[in-house]
Amino acid sequence: MPTPTSLDSFIKDNSLEVPACELKFWNGRNHRYLLVIPVINEGERIKTLLKRMTAEHTSELLDILIVDGGTTDGSLDKTILDEHKVTGLLLKTGPGKLSSQLRCAYAFGLAEGYEGIVTIDGNNKDNPRDIPKFIKALDEGTDFAQASRFIKGGHAENTPLVRYMAIRLIHAPVLSIASRFFWTDTTQGFRAYSRKLLMDPKVAPFRDVFRVYELLCYLSYRAPRLGYKCKELPTERLYPKGEKAPTKISFFRGSYDLLDTLFRCCFGGYNPKG
Protein backbone atom coordinates (compact mmCIF):
# COMPACT_ATOMS: atom_id res chain seq x y z
CA MET A 1 0.00 0.00 0.00
CA PRO A 2 1.17 3.60 -0.46
CA THR A 3 3.02 4.88 2.57
CA PRO A 4 3.55 8.61 3.18
CA THR A 5 7.03 8.06 1.72
CA SER A 6 5.80 6.41 -1.51
CA LEU A 7 3.08 9.03 -1.93
CA ASP A 8 5.63 11.77 -1.37
CA SER A 9 7.87 10.16 -3.97
CA PHE A 10 5.02 10.04 -6.49
CA ILE A 11 4.24 13.70 -5.84
CA LYS A 12 7.89 14.70 -6.16
CA ASP A 13 8.58 12.58 -9.25
CA ASN A 14 5.60 14.12 -11.07
CA SER A 15 6.11 17.68 -9.75
CA LEU A 16 2.64 17.82 -8.20
CA GLU A 17 1.41 20.42 -5.75
CA VAL A 18 -0.58 18.53 -3.13
CA PRO A 19 -1.50 19.66 0.41
CA ALA A 20 -0.07 17.80 3.38
CA CYS A 21 -2.15 14.75 4.26
CA GLU A 22 -2.06 11.81 6.63
CA LEU A 23 -3.07 8.25 5.77
CA LYS A 24 -5.10 7.04 8.76
CA PHE A 25 -5.60 3.52 7.40
CA TRP A 26 -5.52 1.66 4.09
CA ASN A 27 -6.52 -1.93 3.32
CA GLY A 28 -4.92 -2.12 -0.12
CA ARG A 29 -6.08 -1.91 -3.75
CA ASN A 30 -8.47 -4.59 -4.96
CA HIS A 31 -10.17 -2.98 -7.99
CA ARG A 32 -9.36 -0.97 -11.11
CA TYR A 33 -11.18 2.13 -9.89
CA LEU A 34 -11.28 4.15 -6.69
CA LEU A 35 -14.34 5.83 -5.19
CA VAL A 36 -13.40 9.09 -3.43
CA ILE A 37 -15.77 10.58 -0.84
CA PRO A 38 -14.81 14.06 0.45
CA VAL A 39 -16.28 14.87 3.87
CA ILE A 40 -16.08 17.27 6.77
CA ASN A 41 -18.47 16.96 9.72
CA GLU A 42 -21.21 15.24 7.70
CA GLY A 43 -22.65 13.55 10.79
CA GLU A 44 -25.50 11.16 10.07
CA ARG A 45 -25.40 11.98 6.36
CA ILE A 46 -22.15 10.10 5.71
CA LYS A 47 -23.34 7.20 7.87
CA THR A 48 -26.55 6.97 5.85
CA LEU A 49 -24.62 7.14 2.58
CA LEU A 50 -22.35 4.30 3.69
CA LYS A 51 -25.37 2.20 4.64
CA ARG A 52 -26.87 2.78 1.21
CA MET A 53 -23.56 1.85 -0.43
CA THR A 54 -23.44 -1.37 1.60
CA ALA A 55 -26.95 -2.21 0.42
CA GLU A 56 -25.79 -1.65 -3.18
CA HIS A 57 -22.63 -3.78 -2.67
CA THR A 58 -20.49 -0.83 -3.77
CA SER A 59 -17.32 -2.24 -2.19
CA GLU A 60 -17.54 -5.21 -4.58
CA LEU A 61 -17.29 -2.84 -7.56
CA LEU A 62 -14.50 -0.44 -6.58
CA ASP A 63 -12.39 0.55 -3.59
CA ILE A 64 -13.65 3.28 -1.25
CA LEU A 65 -11.49 6.11 0.07
CA ILE A 66 -12.86 8.78 2.38
CA VAL A 67 -10.85 12.02 2.31
CA ASP A 68 -11.49 14.06 5.44
CA GLY A 69 -11.11 17.81 5.67
CA GLY A 70 -10.93 17.79 9.47
CA THR A 71 -14.03 16.10 10.88
CA THR A 72 -14.62 16.53 14.62
CA ASP A 73 -18.16 15.13 15.00
CA GLY A 74 -17.19 11.47 15.46
CA SER A 75 -18.90 10.35 12.25
CA LEU A 76 -15.73 8.70 10.91
CA ASP A 77 -15.25 6.20 13.72
CA LYS A 78 -13.17 3.33 12.31
CA THR A 79 -15.64 0.74 13.57
CA ILE A 80 -18.31 2.28 11.37
CA LEU A 81 -15.98 2.52 8.38
CA ASP A 82 -14.89 -1.10 8.78
CA GLU A 83 -18.50 -2.23 9.06
CA HIS A 84 -19.23 -0.69 5.66
CA LYS A 85 -16.01 -1.97 4.06
CA VAL A 86 -14.37 1.41 3.52
CA THR A 87 -10.91 0.73 2.09
CA GLY A 88 -9.12 3.72 3.54
CA LEU A 89 -9.24 7.09 5.27
CA LEU A 90 -7.05 10.01 4.23
CA LEU A 91 -6.89 13.17 6.35
CA LYS A 92 -5.97 16.48 4.72
CA THR A 93 -3.82 18.42 7.17
CA GLY A 94 -2.67 21.18 4.81
CA PRO A 95 -4.56 24.35 3.82
CA GLY A 96 -7.63 24.59 1.65
CA LYS A 97 -11.10 23.09 1.39
CA LEU A 98 -12.77 20.80 -1.16
CA SER A 99 -10.31 21.19 -4.06
CA SER A 100 -7.42 20.60 -1.67
CA GLN A 101 -9.09 17.44 -0.35
CA LEU A 102 -9.61 16.19 -3.89
CA ARG A 103 -5.99 16.85 -4.84
CA CYS A 104 -4.89 14.75 -1.86
CA ALA A 105 -7.23 11.89 -2.74
CA TYR A 106 -6.55 11.93 -6.49
CA ALA A 107 -2.78 11.96 -5.96
CA PHE A 108 -3.14 9.05 -3.56
CA GLY A 109 -5.27 7.10 -6.04
CA LEU A 110 -2.83 7.69 -8.89
CA ALA A 111 0.12 6.72 -6.69
CA GLU A 112 -1.68 3.47 -5.94
CA GLY A 113 -2.13 2.77 -9.65
CA TYR A 114 -5.88 3.18 -10.17
CA GLU A 115 -7.02 3.49 -13.78
CA GLY A 116 -9.83 5.90 -12.92
CA ILE A 117 -11.45 7.72 -10.03
CA VAL A 118 -15.12 8.22 -9.20
CA THR A 119 -16.15 10.94 -6.75
CA ILE A 120 -19.41 11.20 -4.81
CA ASP A 121 -20.27 13.82 -2.19
CA GLY A 122 -20.43 12.64 1.40
CA ASN A 123 -23.66 14.51 2.20
CA ASN A 124 -26.02 11.75 0.98
CA LYS A 125 -27.65 13.85 -1.75
CA ASP A 126 -26.61 11.44 -4.51
CA ASN A 127 -27.82 7.89 -4.99
CA PRO A 128 -24.99 5.30 -4.87
CA ARG A 129 -27.16 3.10 -7.05
CA ASP A 130 -25.87 5.24 -9.94
CA ILE A 131 -22.19 4.43 -9.32
CA PRO A 132 -22.12 1.49 -11.80
CA LYS A 133 -22.96 3.97 -14.58
CA PHE A 134 -19.66 5.75 -13.95
CA ILE A 135 -17.72 2.50 -13.87
CA LYS A 136 -19.25 1.52 -17.21
CA ALA A 137 -18.39 4.92 -18.67
CA LEU A 138 -14.74 4.53 -17.63
CA ASP A 139 -14.69 1.00 -19.03
CA GLU A 140 -15.94 2.36 -22.35
CA GLY A 141 -13.16 4.92 -22.57
CA THR A 142 -14.84 8.04 -21.20
CA ASP A 143 -12.33 10.42 -19.64
CA PHE A 144 -14.80 12.63 -17.78
CA ALA A 145 -18.30 11.55 -16.77
CA GLN A 146 -20.51 14.12 -15.04
CA ALA A 147 -23.74 13.36 -13.16
CA SER A 148 -26.82 15.25 -14.29
CA ARG A 149 -30.21 15.36 -12.65
CA PHE A 150 -31.54 17.39 -15.60
CA ILE A 151 -31.14 15.04 -18.57
CA LYS A 152 -33.50 12.23 -19.59
CA GLY A 153 -33.47 9.55 -16.91
CA GLY A 154 -32.21 11.94 -14.24
CA HIS A 155 -34.24 13.00 -11.23
CA ALA A 156 -34.14 16.00 -8.86
CA GLU A 157 -36.11 16.64 -5.69
CA ASN A 158 -36.33 19.73 -3.49
CA THR A 159 -33.53 21.56 -5.31
CA PRO A 160 -33.52 25.10 -3.83
CA LEU A 161 -34.98 27.50 -6.41
CA VAL A 162 -32.01 29.88 -6.29
CA ARG A 163 -29.61 26.97 -6.83
CA TYR A 164 -31.72 25.62 -9.69
CA MET A 165 -31.88 28.99 -11.45
CA ALA A 166 -28.16 29.63 -11.00
CA ILE A 167 -27.22 26.28 -12.54
CA ARG A 168 -29.72 26.26 -15.38
CA LEU A 169 -29.56 29.93 -16.40
CA ILE A 170 -25.97 30.92 -15.60
CA HIS A 171 -23.44 28.26 -14.62
CA ALA A 172 -24.21 25.48 -17.08
CA PRO A 173 -24.84 27.75 -20.13
CA VAL A 174 -21.70 29.84 -19.59
CA LEU A 175 -19.54 26.77 -19.01
CA SER A 176 -21.06 25.05 -22.04
CA ILE A 177 -20.17 27.96 -24.32
CA ALA A 178 -16.65 28.29 -22.94
CA SER A 179 -15.86 24.56 -22.92
CA ARG A 180 -17.54 23.84 -26.29
CA PHE A 181 -19.44 20.96 -24.70
CA PHE A 182 -23.13 20.99 -23.79
CA TRP A 183 -23.36 20.66 -20.00
CA THR A 184 -26.66 20.69 -18.08
CA ASP A 185 -25.52 20.13 -14.48
CA THR A 186 -22.15 21.64 -13.60
CA THR A 187 -21.84 22.29 -9.86
CA GLN A 188 -22.22 18.87 -8.26
CA GLY A 189 -19.32 16.58 -7.49
CA PHE A 190 -20.67 13.19 -8.60
CA ARG A 191 -18.14 12.50 -11.38
CA ALA A 192 -15.55 10.14 -12.83
CA TYR A 193 -12.13 10.86 -14.32
CA SER A 194 -9.68 8.70 -16.24
CA ARG A 195 -6.08 8.40 -15.11
CA LYS A 196 -4.99 9.82 -18.48
CA LEU A 197 -6.95 13.02 -17.89
CA LEU A 198 -5.68 13.58 -14.35
CA MET A 199 -2.05 12.95 -15.33
CA ASP A 200 -2.04 15.18 -18.42
CA PRO A 201 0.34 18.14 -17.89
CA LYS A 202 -1.95 20.21 -20.12
CA VAL A 203 -4.66 19.69 -17.51
CA ALA A 204 -2.40 19.83 -14.43
CA PRO A 205 -5.04 19.56 -11.70
CA PHE A 206 -2.41 19.28 -8.98
CA ARG A 207 -1.71 22.97 -8.44
CA ASP A 208 -2.14 25.12 -5.35
CA VAL A 209 -4.48 27.47 -7.20
CA PHE A 210 -7.18 24.84 -6.63
CA ARG A 211 -8.17 25.18 -2.98
CA VAL A 212 -11.93 25.64 -2.61
CA TYR A 213 -14.37 24.75 -5.44
CA GLU A 214 -12.22 25.81 -8.40
CA LEU A 215 -11.17 22.32 -9.48
CA LEU A 216 -14.70 21.15 -10.30
CA CYS A 217 -15.37 24.07 -12.61
CA TYR A 218 -11.91 23.95 -14.17
CA LEU A 219 -12.06 20.28 -15.15
CA SER A 220 -15.50 20.79 -16.73
CA TYR A 221 -13.97 23.55 -18.84
CA ARG A 222 -10.55 22.11 -19.59
CA ALA A 223 -11.32 18.47 -20.45
CA PRO A 224 -13.61 19.18 -23.43
CA ARG A 225 -11.35 21.97 -24.69
CA LEU A 226 -8.48 19.48 -24.92
CA GLY A 227 -10.58 16.97 -26.80
CA TYR A 228 -11.12 14.43 -24.03
CA LYS A 229 -14.14 12.16 -24.24
CA CYS A 230 -16.79 13.65 -21.95
CA LYS A 231 -20.39 12.71 -21.23
CA GLU A 232 -23.21 13.33 -18.78
CA LEU A 233 -24.96 10.48 -17.00
CA PRO A 234 -28.53 10.59 -15.66
CA THR A 235 -28.54 10.44 -11.86
CA GLU A 236 -30.76 11.12 -8.88
CA ARG A 237 -30.04 14.07 -6.57
CA LEU A 238 -32.27 14.73 -3.57
CA TYR A 239 -32.22 17.59 -1.10
CA PRO A 240 -33.79 16.81 2.29
CA LYS A 241 -37.42 17.84 2.52
CA GLY A 242 -38.56 20.13 5.29
CA GLU A 243 -35.12 20.88 6.67
CA LYS A 244 -32.17 23.08 5.85
CA ALA A 245 -30.30 21.65 2.89
CA PRO A 246 -26.83 20.38 3.81
CA THR A 247 -24.30 22.62 2.10
CA LYS A 248 -20.92 24.12 2.86
CA ILE A 249 -21.59 27.13 0.62
CA SER A 250 -22.93 30.33 2.23
CA PHE A 251 -25.47 32.17 0.07
CA PHE A 252 -23.93 35.59 -0.55
CA ARG A 253 -20.20 34.88 -0.29
CA GLY A 254 -20.65 31.47 -1.86
CA SER A 255 -22.61 32.87 -4.81
CA TYR A 256 -20.00 35.55 -5.45
CA ASP A 257 -17.12 33.06 -5.23
CA LEU A 258 -18.94 30.62 -7.53
CA LEU A 259 -19.45 33.26 -10.22
CA ASP A 260 -15.94 34.66 -9.83
CA THR A 261 -14.51 31.16 -10.25
CA LEU A 262 -16.78 30.46 -13.23
CA PHE A 263 -15.72 33.51 -15.24
CA ARG A 264 -12.07 33.25 -14.23
CA CYS A 265 -12.11 29.64 -15.42
CA CYS A 266 -13.91 30.39 -18.70
CA PHE A 267 -11.38 33.06 -19.59
CA GLY A 268 -8.49 30.66 -19.07
CA GLY A 269 -7.49 31.98 -15.67
CA TYR A 270 -6.68 28.51 -14.32
CA ASN A 271 -4.96 27.12 -17.41
CA PRO A 272 -1.39 25.88 -16.87
CA LYS A 273 1.22 28.44 -17.83
CA GLY A 274 2.70 27.75 -21.22
Per residue, what are the HEC states of 31-84? CCEEEEEEECCCCHHHHHHHHHHHHCCHHHCCEEEEEECCCCCCCCCHHHHHHC
Angle formed at CA 234 by CA 171 and CA 89, multiple of 5 degrees: 85
Q: Domains in the chain, please, with CATH?
A: 4-266 (3.90.550.10)
Which residues are within 8 A (CB) of 135 and not within 5 positions of it... i.e. 6 or more apart?
A: 33, 61, 62, 118, 192
Q: How far apart are CA 252 and CA 80, in angstroms?
A: 36
Amino acid 116: pLDDT? 98
Confidence of residue 253 (pLDDT cuts 50, 70, 90): low
How much of the chain, in percent, has pLDDT values that exceed 90?
A: 89
Residue 83 has pLDDT above 70, yes or no: yes
Span of 72-86, 148-162, 229-243, 253-267 with lowest mean pLDDT: 253-267
Q: Are 78 and 88 in contact (CB under 8 A)?
A: no
Q: Are 143 and 230 in contact (CB under 8 A)?
A: yes
Q: How far apart are CA 77 and CA 142, in angstroms?
A: 35
Amino acid 76: pLDDT? 97
Q: Which tens digits make up the pLDDT trace of 35-44? A: 999 999 999 9
Amino acid at the residue 227: G
Whether this model's pTM surpasses 0.85? yes
